[in-house]
């Protein structure tokens, strides 16, 4: 049953196998990225339970949910960092395999992982160019460090990050600075989709605003931005749409202009139930229903 007043309610089961749902911002050609029925077990824990998700080009989609709802797992599955047990991923309506971050990159996908995935003993400039080094002379793999530094300094300045020394190992940076390095890297290279898993969690007020500005800028370049955040005012300020995960399952979608913090929190906690069949009662879902993989 649809109990939420205004939001677009997810019809998880109804839409199974059907055409792409009417996602805002993607009316013309369907979502840029879509997950259908993704499931993922970690041992006996069902982290994703036939989760659906979609993100449209040129819009910011916030992915929200309580701790443990499966947000990071979903992002990892969609960015090639892990393989879902079952389900389908579509880019521009076409099913794709997403078996490695490299494969994701080929689809123009960049990710700021919650754990940042930086190389701690390399400096910020080298981290920014990880896998995309600039060489003086490629056959001999002679790095053009000054060029890498220059572009790193530019990228950080863009984010309002002042690094005293872009040549210092990343492990010597503060948590916020490290987060900024990860954000700068993703923003610099994303050409289609960027996932940001709590990119502002460790940031001070000024840098948080810079990151949000960057998110808007990237969005205005036509890129699909997927933002994970626990900060509801931030979500409503920057996102065009919101998708809610609960116990590994998408349970609601909202247009942010129509949504309130109370509604978002209600959907996250299950206080507002958006559909009868998404298993609010299935609580520790999956335990009983987990199956269907095995391969
Ligand atoms: N590597 C892992 N091994 C075992 N269980 C895991 C692993 N990663 C995640 N889980 C479990 O999967 C579930 C979903 O975790 P996930 O990290 O995706 O949640 P999340 O929504 O990102 O939470 P948070 O808001 O705390 O970051 C949790 O129950 C978690 O304990
Ligand atoms: Mg997480």
Q: What is the pLDDT of residues 71-108, one digit of tens each?
A: 999 999 999 999 999 999 999 999 999 999 889 989 99
Q: Is 158 within a domain? A: yes
Atom of ligand 1 nearest to the CA of 76: 18
124 shares its domain with 216? no
pLDDT above 50: residue 243: yes
pTM equals 0.80
127 shares its domain with 203? no
Q: Is 113 within a domain? A: no
Residue 12 — very low, low, confident or very high, per pLDDT cuts 50/70/90? Answer: very low
Residue 29: predicted pLDDT = 63
Do 36 and 52 form a contact (C-beta atoms < 8 A)? yes
Pick the last residue of a domain from 189, 217, 239: 189
217 shares its domain with 295? yes
Question: What's the CA gap between 254 and 274, in Å, rounded?
Answer: 11
What's the 291 CA to ligand 1 centre distance in angstroms?
Answer: 19
Atom of ligand 1 nearest to the CA of 70: 18
Ligand 1 pocket, 65 CB below 6 A?
Answer: yes
The structural domain count of the chain equals 2
Nearest to residue 195, comparing CAs of 80, 79, 95? 79
128 shares its domain with 227? no
Beta bridge partners of residue 95, listed in sequence order: 90
Q: Is 114 within a domain? A: no
Mean pLDDT for the chain overall: 80
| Residue ranges making up the domain that contains 161 | 119-189
pLDDT above 80: residue 160: no
Mean pLDDT, residues 161-165 taken together: 78
Mutate to test the pocket of ligand 1, among 41, 42, 114, 201 (most ligand atoms within 8 A of CB): 42
Pick the last residue of a domain from 155, 173, 189: 189
Residue 19: predicted pLDDT = 31
Pick the last residue of a domain from 189, 212, 233: 189
The pLDDT > 70 percentage for the chain reads 82
89 shares its domain with 207? yes
């Amino acid at each position: 049953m649809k109990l939420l007043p205004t939001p677009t309610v997810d019809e998880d089961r109804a839409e199974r196998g059907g055409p792409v749902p009417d996602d805002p911002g993607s009316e013309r050609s369907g979502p840029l990225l879509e997950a259908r029925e993704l499931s993922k077990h970690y041992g006996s824990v069902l982290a994703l339970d036939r989760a659906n998700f979609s993100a449209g080009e040129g819009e910011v989609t916030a992915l929200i949910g309580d701790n443990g709802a499966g947000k990071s797992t979903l992002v990892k599955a969609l960015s090639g960092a892990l393989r879902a047990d079952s389900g389908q991923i579509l880019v521009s309506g076409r099913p794709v395999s997403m078996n490695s971050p490299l494969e994701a990159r080929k689809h123009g996908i960049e990710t700021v992982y919650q754990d940042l995935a930086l190389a701690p003993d390399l400096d910020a400039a080298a981290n920014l160019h990880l896998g995309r080094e600039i060489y003086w002379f490629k056959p001999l793999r002679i790095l053009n460090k000054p060029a890498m530094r220059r572009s790193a300094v530019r990228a950080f300045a863009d984010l309002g990050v002042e690094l005293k020394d872009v040549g210092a190992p990343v492990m010597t940076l503060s948590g916020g600075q490290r987060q900024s390095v990860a954000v700068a890297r993703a923003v610099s290279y994303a050409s289609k989709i960027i996932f940001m898993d709590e990119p502002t969690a460790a940031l001070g007020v000024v840098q948080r605003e810079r990151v949000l500005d960057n998110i808007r800028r990237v969005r205005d370049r036509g890129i699909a931005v997927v933002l994970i955040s626990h900060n509801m005012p931030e979500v409503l300020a920057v996102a065009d749409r919101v998708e809610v995960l609960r116990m590994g399952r998408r349970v609601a979608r909202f247009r942010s202009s129509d949504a309130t913090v109370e509604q978002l929190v209600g959907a996250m906690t299950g206080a507002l139930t958006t559909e009868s069949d998404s298993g609010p009662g299935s609580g520790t879902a999956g335990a009983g229903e987990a199956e269907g993989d095995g391969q």
